[in-house]
Amino acid sequence: MPAPSRKSFPLRLDPALYAAIERAAAGDLRSVNAEVECLLREALARRGVKLDAPVAVKRGRPAKEDGDAE
C-alpha cells in the first residue's frame, strides 16, 4: 500500500527560530520537519481545533508478497 500523500510547501523562518526548533527536535529525537508538525498540532489543539490522529508511518522493510523470489 502506498504511503499517504503529504502536502509540501516552502517555509521561510527566522534563523534564530529555526535554530530553536532544531534544538527542540534534537532533544525529542525528531527531525525538524516532525518537530514543526508536532508544534503546529499542539498549537491547534490549544485553540480547540480538532484534527484526526496522524497516520503512523510504517518503518522497516515491506512485507514479502506471495510469489516473490528470494
Q: Is the pTM of this model over 0.95?
A: no
Three-state secondary structure call for residue 12: coil
Cell triple for 22: 532544531
Q: Report whether 21 contacts 39 (CB < 8 A).
A: yes
Of 13, 51, 49, give the one whose Cα is nearest residue 32. Answer: 13
Q: pLDDT tens-digit profile of 12-62?
A: 999 999 999 999 999 999 999 999 999 999 999 999 999 888 777 777 887
Q: Report whether 37 contacts 51 (CB < 8 A).
A: no
